[in-house]
Amino acid sequence: MAERDEPEVIGRRVQQLRAERGLTQRQLAEPAYTPAYVSTLEAGRVRPSDDALRHLAGRLGVGFDELATGRPARLATDLRLRLTEAQRTLAVGEAEAAAEQYAALLAEAREHRLVEAEAVALLGLGECGLDTGELTEARRYFERAEQVLADAPLPARAPALRGRAVSHYLAGELRYAVYLLESTLDALNRGGLHDPDALLLLYASVIGPYMDMGAHARAAQAAEYALALAPQAGDPALVARMHRSVARTLLAEGRIAEADASLAKAAELYRQLQIRTELANCHWMRGYVHAQNGDLERAEAELREARTMLTAQRAALYTSQVAVELADVLHRRGKSAEAAALLHEVLSDLSPERGALHSAAAHRLLGIIAEDARDTETAEEHYVRALSLLERAGAAGDLADLCRLLGDLLRRTGRVEAALDAYRTGLGHRTAPGTTTLGPAPAQPPL
């Protein structure tokens, strides 16, 4: 039950409602209470019991919660309905419109101290920030959601933790992102909190950071777990729409509790729609594995599927990241012109603070394509840009490889000393393949 207002506030509310209805204290009190009790209550000198509030609410013609908290009747249910509308807006890819809806709902939820609604609105604003690439702002919203949910069980906090980790990942802070995701997964699995949706969300989210850190075995295992958990989430779009429609009907009939239950199901299903975006990571991972094994045709098919899924969700930043992987496969299949066009398109959507690693990968690949075309000046320019981005992100494995490419280019053009400097820089960044420096992998889920 929601926290009540102080006795003085409740007393003033009772007095105001009684006056509006033209009732005397005796008429309000009888038959269960005395006029003196009502007078004392209106003066704020007594904390009314639940039974007393129910009696007074019935006499005044208002709901118990409205009398105890001042919230208008049906406010919580109406707010939940509007939150599911915002979730639907975000799920169909209209992030900016959804952000406006969530911001208005957040203000209203805070005004009326509706903690659950406040957390949902903050999570929604964070997701909007991820989709639009406003990573610092998104991270702040997720942090605030964690604070609001501080007393909730870990599965309820998982979306906020995942959102914070993804915002760090997209900003190039790989190790911290993996730490957040792995520690949450470990706590869920070791603590017996086997929530399929929370686990799916976290396993799907950790794939990208693993891949970028060179931890391919862990990425493949996370993808395996995510795909095994996915059927338990299903395809929620049509079911969510049904629950929203049913809730509207129930609200019109005054069946608020049933409407609340229906809206809760709709809200959960719309949250799962975000998982569809995450599941594109699994196709991305499969494409990567096929590419590593030399099966470029299957790799291209998987990466195109991932890009199609993300484009349908209008997840622009994620779409750009997968496009870089796809361009690499296209180049290896001899489609260098198509690959270069795709990479230039991607670079217009990325920046050092918004997709730094994939921006670096795009410049690296454009450098390779330029070298193949014997345009050494353009190739060097792309390599240097990529080097700067990777140094900021601390992507050691990629840095070592890029320094080798740059060193080879400089040596071929006769700049031996500069080539040696590049090689030395690369050696300083070498790490063992597949390591994350984060210790053992998290405990496994009970699949």
Whether the predicted pLDDT of 434 surpasses 50:
no
pLDDT tens readout for residues 336-373: 999 999 999 888 876 666 667 778 889 999 999 999 99
The CA distances from residue 361 to 326, 364, 386, in Å, are: 11, 5, 7
Answer yes or no: are the C-beta atoms of 427 and 401 closer than 8 Å. Answer: no
Would you state the pLDDT for residue 243?
Answer: 62
What percentage of the chain exceeds 70 in pLDDT? 79
pLDDT of residue 267: 67
pLDDT over 60 at 287, yes or no = yes
pLDDT at 234 over 60: no
pLDDT band at 158 (very low <50, low <70, confident <90, very high): very high
- Please tell me the distance from the alpha carbon of residue 387 to that of residue 168, in angstroms, as a whole number: 20
Task: State the average pLDDT over residues 216-227.
Answer: 76
Res. 270 pLDDT band, cuts 50 70 90: low
199 contact partners, CB below 8 Å, separation of at least 6: 185, 188, 189, 225, 229, 445
Q: Residue 439 — pLDDT band, cuts 50, 70, 90?
A: low
Q: What is the mean predicted confidence (pLDDT) over 121-139?
A: 91
Average pLDDT (167-189) is 90
Of the two residues 222 and 14, the one the predictor is more confident about is: 14
- Please tell me the predicted confidence (pLDDT) of residue 436: 39
pLDDT averaged over the chain?
A: 81
H/E segment holding residue 86: helix 75-91
Q: Which of 99-113, 248-262, 423-437 has the highest mean pLDDT?
A: 99-113
Residue 160 has pLDDT above 50, yes or no: yes
